[in-house]
Chains A and B, each alone.
Chain A
């Protein structure tokens, strides 16, 4: 292409508070329609908002994690527009004085680090959901999501490719997960991105006309939508036409976008200061307390895993991409004292099960404590590798305590010498051919008898001990 692609993102994130932003309704996802609503979030006459303190804390936390400055004085504004999912016909938002501004996020593009500016992060409230009735004549409204706290993160137009856009969104998602301000479930809409994109002729100083793309609901879709839009604009410019400033809607199934409204139809939101909410003043003490609650972020963790724990970079990357996984890794390493062993297990057996069963297994049954315990049992030779895998599978299935599983299934390694000697003797007696092979100098026979002995012990023998006893018994025939 003869153009540079200029991309900025606007990212909407639902905060993981217990209650909504201005009322005591539950901020849980879903629920029967309109059962998580009250007169306040429904904007009924005479009701008034009171700000949830956690919303301010979480926003500042997200801002600090993205190196933002935090405004000492901030206020709320009303954004006025009619849409049936917006119960008051205005959205409480922040216009000229956002809580967080002027930050950045570092992203890894290939083996280079790139710094993307964060222009601002502000607080606002989410709208309800419209369901289009099958008959096409009517729409139904569920206001359960109305009043769910949101932050909007606006990046600077520092992204230069659709891939960078996807990487940035991924990076921000993991920062938000690490700081635990959002669960970032894109499939549930708790993380949504708009892509602002324009093309600039290579070498030219003047910027091109920008479009805004809405309705992007997955990481993959960000990249696809940006790619498609870049190509669409290049096509227009290539044929000598003009790109129009417009808002478009991405259809991920069709893989193309459609115009929603042009510049002439731009909304006049009539922002003005929200008279029902006093301003917010943040002091140093409040800031420090929030700063102290921010955990080590993924990039810093990754470097620590590579440099201090000797974990391969690829593994460290994958483990830190998910906070739950990284937390499991760290705790399990502490418990069993062997980070490399833990990382190997995570990269193979644990990842395979996550892929099969979903990420939930990390939150429910597998945690750092029990994984560490299982692996250290294996290291001490109390269970075999095969048994360890079996314990993990049962654990995922039932949530039973690993010690119980080992006990119940009799997975403990069998070390009773008399029992092992008895089993080995029986195996030798039942396999005279193998014995004579051994006696005639065929070493392969040892392996065969070893397998049979282990099988006779139902796989629970300690291979080193079994091999020793087998050798001793065979030598007695010499």
Chain B
């Protein structure tokens, strides 16, 4: 079996017992990345830096008794997370040549634990999209079937992990951007509670919704990454204190006495029958292990998509205003006056979806519309949050499909923005309420493409979610792609 198929835990053991060297391991992954260039997961592969980092990790492994399980483990990071001296593009022409002089806090943390950065991962431009097709670097292909999308916006991250092009990856989730591609690619994706993981260095899309989270091969790996990245950061004012814990501890998959709520709004007519069957099968296995399943209702979920798009686009219109061609980013060199410098640089630097959302957000905040659109969306946000709160009085976990369907075909929704937005119907409410949610692979549809089940918990209940995920993983097993011929 290829070394790259192994989980972090397995690989870490091999590194510690000197069965493989960190440099050799990194080179294996780099080889795998080259072989699978058609997936288009990476936008930047930093070979030299990766080998150097692997050498340093090996020194740590050789000299220290206690090293992090991440020491020497090759990873990929979504290209909206700043990495000092390595270009960070957001898959946008606007930032095509942007190299930050600072790193995201989570990258610093991962570097300190000895993880090795292989490169930066493809995504929808500025994380706006659900298919990783809105990118200047070309679409990402689903490793299970190249004609299908990998999901988005963290499509590069999910496909890299699924295709063994990184032992794990970091993504960001504003409305489902970790969970949906994880579901489409058959890997584990966790969107942490808002405030648990520092946002410093994450290039903002919608500040009140964005969270960085792990994408991994299995639940244990996910817990392990959370141990490395969760925790307070004084550089992020919305980062919370005292809520991070040891996510590996007591990860035994026990679910007896667990009360699971199944909101009927997530099992509606939009849900593909095939996907529904896979989900119900996974739920049944939880029930057989002692969990109780009850139908419940979150009536305002139907308003979540419009509320989400109004709030996220409004914040984006402001967050993306700084791309004016002056200090960094694309600049139209022919502009004769300052207004043209703005207007032309932004016209040419942003892709069409980004521009659509900026326009939508500008409209929703502008005088005359703000009360009916933006403010109304904030009220819906309150209501959705309250409905979740009441549900959590009765249930420990809410379970639902991550997406209404398995991965769709490349190009299928590209020219119908609204249809693309509706794909996020089951994921956006979690971000509006700031809750943690995990997508765990739980089977395949008849088309052979993966299906993910979404587990939603109270704020800071990541441990519980991982534990329930562990049970599903034990019952159903990991989804692994048949290796290509010759690998």
Contact = CB atoms under 8 A, between A and B. Distances in A.
A256 to B, nearest CB: 26
B315 A275 contact: yes
Given A82-B324, A272-B365, A45 B200 contact: no
A46 B207 contact: no
A294 interface: no
A337 interface: no
A39 B365 contact: no
Contacts of A268: 366-367
A270 interface: yes
B97 to A, nearest CB: 13
Contacts of B208: 275
Per DSSP, chain B at the interface is loop
Nearest to A137: B336
Interface in B357-377: 362, 365-367, 370, 374
Given A272-B318, A275-B207, A45 B100 contact: yes
Given A80-B318, A141-B326, A272-B365, A46 B235 contact: no
Contact of B237 (A42, A50, A88, A272): A50
A84 B326 CA distance: 8
B327 A80 contact: no
A196 B362 CA distance: 29
A44 interface: yes
Contact of A278 (B90, B202, B238, B342): B238
Given A82-B321, A268-B367, A45 B327 contact: no
Nearest to B346: A82
B88 A45 contact: yes
A84 B102 contact: no
B203 interface: yes
B365 A44 contact: no
A78 interface: yes
A49 interface: yes
B338 interface: yes
Contacts of B367: 268, 270
A45 B95 contact: yes
A87 B327 contact: yes
A88 B321 contact: yes
Interface in A298-337: none
Contacts of B217: none
B82 interface: yes
B237 A49 contact: yes
Given A39-B101, A89-B322, A270 B237 contact: no
A190 to B, nearest CB: 25
A80 B321 CA distance: 8
Contact of A82 (B202, B328, B342): B342
B328 A45 contact: yes
A42 B327 contact: yes
A43 B366 contact: no
Contacts of B234: 50
Contacts of B321: 80, 82, 88-90
Contact count band on B: 35 or more
A87 B323 CA distance: 9
B237 A78 contact: no
Interface string B364-403: 0111001000100000000000000000000000000000
Interface residues of A, number: 28
B332 to A, nearest CB: 15
Contacts, number: 97
A87 B327 CA distance: 8
Contacts of A275: 206-208, 238, 315
Contacts of B80: 46
Interface in B239-255: none
User: Which residue among A42, A82, A272 has the maximum number of chain B CB atoms within 10 Å of its CB?
Assistant: A272
A253 interface: no
B82 A45 contact: yes
Contacts of A141: 326
A78 B318 contact: yes
Given A78-B318, A84-B326, A141-B326, A277 B237 contact: yes
Contacts of A88: 321-322
A48 B315 CA distance: 14
A318 to B, nearest CB: 46
B98 interface: yes
Contact of B98 (A45, A90, A277): A45
A270 B207 contact: no
Interface string A29-62: 0000000000100111111111100000000000
Contacts of B95: 45
A278 B238 CA distance: 7
B324 A44 contact: no
Contacts of A84: 324, 326, 338
Interface in B307-337: 314-315, 317-318, 321-322, 324, 326-328
Nearest to A79: B318
A2 interface: no
A448 to B, nearest CB: 80
A276 interface: yes
Given A275-B208, A276-B238, A45 B101 contact: no
A414 to B, nearest CB: 67
B340 interface: no
B236 interface: yes
Nearest to A90: B318
Interface in A253-284: 268, 270, 272, 275-278
Contacts of A44: 100, 102, 327-328
A42 B200 CA distance: 15
Contacts of A90: 318, 321
B318 A45 contact: no
Interface string B177-211: 00000000000000000000001111110111000
Given A141-B326, A270-B370, A50 B235 contact: yes
B231 to A, nearest CB: 16
A49 B199 CA distance: 11
A39 B322 contact: no
B104 interface: yes
User: Which residue among A45, A90, A270 has the maximum number of chain B CB atoms within 10 Å of its CB?
Assistant: A45
User: Which residue among B80, B237, B338 has the maximum number of chain A CB atoms within 10 Å of its CB?
Assistant: B237
A277 B239 CA distance: 10
Interface string B255-276: 0000000000000000000000
18 contacts: A39-B100, A39-B101, A39-B102, A45-B88, A45-B204, A46-B104, A46-B201, A48-B238, A80-B321, A84-B338, A87-B322, A89-B318, A270-B370, A272-B314, A272-B365, A272-B374, A276-B204, A276-B207
Given A270-B370, A276-B204, 12 more contacts: A42-B327, A45-B328, A46-B100, A46-B202, A48-B235, A80-B318, A80-B321, A84-B324, A89-B318, A139-B338, A270-B366, A272-B365
Please give me the 9 A-B residue pairs with the lowest Cβ-Cβ distance, nearest first: A89-B321, A270-B365, A275-B208, A275-B207, A45-B203, A46-B201, A46-B82, A46-B203, A43-B322
